[in-house]
Amino acid sequence: MDIFLMFLKVFAVGGAICTLAQLLINYTKITAGKILVYFLIAGLVLQTFGVYQYLVDFAGAGATVPISGFGYLLAKGAMEGAKKGLFDAITGGITAAGMGITAAIVFGYLFALIFKSKSKKN
């Protein structure tokens, strides 16, 4: 039963974040790219004030997988690096997110080799 409740929390929080993004896409003239940037910055700002950590503790992957989780990770890495010094504060965000960035690049390259990309026809 505990695992069911955990999945429910993850789905509810991740779904709420994605629903908010979809509502912005459907009912505003904000482009999808700008919405991604706004969510990333929102995760960064919320973590800076310590709010996003509560969401991560509650929902786990439901809060870390959306793009706002990337902003959270950058802020968390920079804050942990700042404890060691200025250089680590500057590089801490990329260090914390390095594995995810590497995976995105490697898998993107592999899939580009496997599949043939086409332009989207309007």
Per residue, the 3-state secondary structure of 29-73, as one string, reads: CCCHHHHHHHHHHHHHHHHHCCCHHHHHHHHCHHHHCCHHHHHHH
User: Domain residues of the chain, as ranges?
Assistant: 2-114
- DSSP labels, 56-119: HHHHTHHHHSSHHHHHHHHHHHHHHHHTT-HHHHHHHHHHHHHHHHHHHHHHHHHHHHHS---P
Residue 56 amino acid letter: V
Contacts of 86 (CB under 8 A, 6+ apart): none
Digits of tens for pLDDT over the chain (122 positions)? 889 999 999 999 999 999 999 999 999 999 989 999 999 999 999 999 989 999 999 999 899 888 899 999 999 999 999 999 988 888 988 888 888 889 989 999 999 999 987 777 75
